[in-house]
Amino acid sequence: MQRRRAEFEHDRSGDSPTEFETSTNKFEAVCGMCGGKMFVDHALKARLESAREQGLEDNPLVCGRCEADMNEAAAEA
């Protein structure tokens, strides 16, 4: 399971979830931190669903706003 999680994180790096629907990001998803609605492309949606099926309860998706918050917190630490 650990290995699969690492692969999942690796796969995710090329994707760019957005807060609005785009020509590729047509699928609704929610931010794992604030629960805000965002949009992902088909490949990322499929990976999120397969992760859930494998029992990975935590949602690795983070919206741009939460990512900015995390960067700010890291800078202050």
Check binding of 64 to Zn ion (CB under 5 A).
no
Check binding of 63 to Zn ion (CB under 5 A).
yes
Residue 30 or 56: which CB sits closer to Zn ion? Answer: 30
Check binding of 36 to Zn ion (CB under 5 A).
yes
Count residues near Zn ion (CB under 5 A): 6
Check binding of 30 to Zn ion (CB under 5 A).
no
Cβ neighbors of 30 (< 8 A, separation 6 or more) are: 36, 37, 38, 59, 61
CB 29 within 8 A of CB 61: yes
Quote the CA–CA distance of 11 and 49 in Å, as a whole number: 14
Q: Which residues bind Zn ion (CB under 5 A)?
A: 31, 33-34, 36, 63, 66
